[in-house]
Amino acid sequence: MIDTAKDLDLSVLPPEYRAVFEAQAARVALLEEVNKRQEHLIAEMHHALYGKKSEKLREDDRQLAFEEIEVALAEVEEQKSEQATSDKPKRKKIAKRNRGNLPEGLPRIEQVIEPDSLDCPCGCGAMHRIGEDRNERLDIVPAQCRVIVTIRPKYACRACTDGVTQAPTPPWLIEGGLPTEGAIAHVLVSKYADHLPLYRQSQIMARSGIDIHRSTLADWTGVAGFHLAPVVDRLAEHLKTSTKLFMDETTAPVLDPGRGRTKTGYLWALARDDRTWGSNDPPGVVYFYAPDRRGENAEKFLTGFNGILQVDGYTGYNRLTKLSRKGGAPITVAYCWAHARRKLKEVFDRDGSEIAAEGLRQIAEIYAVEKDIRGIPPGQRLSARQARSAPLVAAFGEWLQAQRLRISAKSRLGEKLAYIHNHWNGLQAFLSDGRVEIDSNNVENLVRPIALNRKNALFAGHDEGGRAWGRIASLIETCKINSVEPFAYLKSTLEAIAAGHPKNRIDELLPWNFNPST
């Protein structure tokens, strides 16, 4: 195409047309160059994955190749963005610099650098201080391991033999064990917040000369999970008093000792997050472990909850809406528009369907209303939705039915349209209650940390390990969405449990009640 364009006589075109043609030709040339690079990378990856075994790339090399593809795609997006804004006046880019706004709570170590001499060059005497320049730089000291030596002196009377007095042993979470509660908290946060597997933590400790096997770290984790169970149970009770919750599930591979291999367990996330409409209830999440994905698990976990449940389209939740539901009355299920949109997006990305594109356009209009009303009270959200969103949803519903009449139900697009149709009542729930979100993205964001930990740790040791995983992750993620530092919270909570914190004051141990100054 470019070669053909070069042969054209552009002088016959008006200047404004000629400029447009030349700009388009340059853009096509650029895109062709990028496409060639991508085709080359894809060919390399195909050969690495499916070529001869001796020529296959190692996992690290494959990852680097994927990163090259991502870089190439990012370059294309950047070039497209530059093209889109090329006609607009460009502002001079301001270089990003560190403005020194480091947290006030960090300790400051001042280093005062004095001149070699304070004698005035003119010989009139010593100079006096008129000001100073200050610069702040971030310094990092690697984690320090230390040994706490507890000494309990013994005392006896020299004049009698009535006995010996000695202070009692301080309470420890692991009686007679090696770790402090701070050490245990560090292992938990490293594993479940920073996604460092226990074997890597063991290797990191070994660099400091500390020989602790990962099985020992696993024992510490199990003990912590056991002792934290009452706090997590209370957190779940607190969440289930809400009028609306989110729920989602994700795989949690665990070791099956009987068969010598892993099996697929599940962590079910039950979450509350109503910050989008200014609720005073603190956000929180609890992960329940179950050995499978059956709907009975959701029914069991939700015992006592009788509000609105926001979920994806998984059919296992259908039993919750029936009169035969165990653990409470039938609940209202609100389905997720993000999942409906995703179905159409899959078809559009694969086939370029104009029908799917039209559906995506209409859904985008519905989401635009949600963007405008984010953060306002439920009553105002409901009024805005009834005035602005309801007509859009009604129009989408009519469009949906019209397309289903003309599209084969067995086609890829027909199946996606049927999915939306089958969930239509639940997709309209947000139109009748201002507290309901348009999608379940809130809980999906809370499931991602589980997926990250799964990717790095591969599997839990057994079913009880899966339960400990769920308990500890519940507290860490609840800390994070309440802006509570997880290590400080877990250290304090484990110390309180070791000291015999009263059960009737367990609410004090919930993450949103944590006070680092106490």
- The alpha carbon dihedral of 354, 358, 363, 367 has a sign of positive
pLDDT of residue 79: 53
Same domain, 280 and 427: no
CATH number, domain at 298?
A: 3.30.420
Q: Which of 26, 48, 79 is the last residue of a domain?
A: 79
Q: Would residue 133 count as lying in a domain?
A: no
Question: What is the model's pLDDT at position 76?
Answer: 52
Distance CA 355, CA 188 (A): 49
| Angle, helices 214-239/486-498, rounded to nearest 10 degrees | 90
Residue 499 lies in a domain: yes
Looking at the domain assignment, is residue 35 inside a domain? yes
CA distance linking residue 358 with residue 400, whole number of Å: 10
Q: In this structure, is residue 343 part of a structural domain?
A: yes
Same-domain status, 415 and 449? no
Per the structure block, which two tokens stand in for 89? 């006046």
Q: Is the distance from CB of 471 to CB of 225 less than 8 angstroms?
A: yes
In this structure, what token pair is assigned to residue 155? 């005392």
**316 & 345 share domain:** no
Average pLDDT by stretches of 10, the chain with 518 residues: 57 74 81 77 66 47 49 52 48 52 87 89 85 88 87 89 87 91 96 92 92 93 95 97 94 76 88 92 96 91 94 90 88 95 93 94 96 93 97 97 93 95 96 95 90 72 84 97 97 96 96 89
Task: Identify the pLDDT of residue 59.
Answer: 47
- Structural domain that includes position 318: 221-334+440-513
Instruction: Give domain status of residue 199, yes or no.
Output: no
| Same-domain pairing of 330 and 230 | yes
176: left (phi over 0), alpha (psi -120 to 50) or beta: left
Residue 226 shares a structural domain with residue 325 = yes
- Look at residue 61 in the predicted model and tell me its pLDDT: 47
Contact 291, 263 (CB under 8 A): yes
**Position 6 in a domain:** yes
Does 359 lie in the same domain as 500?
no
- Cα–Cα nearest to 266, from 296, 290, 246, 295: 290
Are 327 and 472 members of one domain? yes
Question: Strand (E) positions, 344-468?
Answer: none
- Compute how many other C-beta atoms are within 10 angstroms of the C-beta atom of residue 183: 21
pLDDT score for 122:
84
- Are residue 323 and residue 288 in the same domain, yes or no? yes
285 and 419 within one domain: no
Separation in Å, CA 164 to CA 152, 167, 169, 280, 506:
12, 10, 15, 55, 37
**Cα 232 to Cα 237: distance, rounded to the nearest angstrom:** 9
Shared domain for 321 and 345, answered yes or no, is no
Provide the number of structural domains found in the chain. Answer: 3
Q: Does residue 506 lie within any of the structural domains?
A: yes
Q: Which two tokens stand for residue 15?
A: 């200047």
Contact 252, 289 (CB under 8 A): yes
* One domain, residues 225 and 304: yes
Closest by Cα among 477, 506, 478, 494 to 230: 506
Domain for residue 172, yes or no?
no
Query: Considering 396, 431, 466, which residue would you say is the last residue of a domain?
Result: 431
Over the Cα atoms of the chain, what is R_g? 31
pLDDT of residue 457: 65
The last residue of a domain, from among 405, 431, 457 = 431
What pLDDT is recorded for position 517? 79
- Whether residue 329 sits in one domain with residue 462: yes
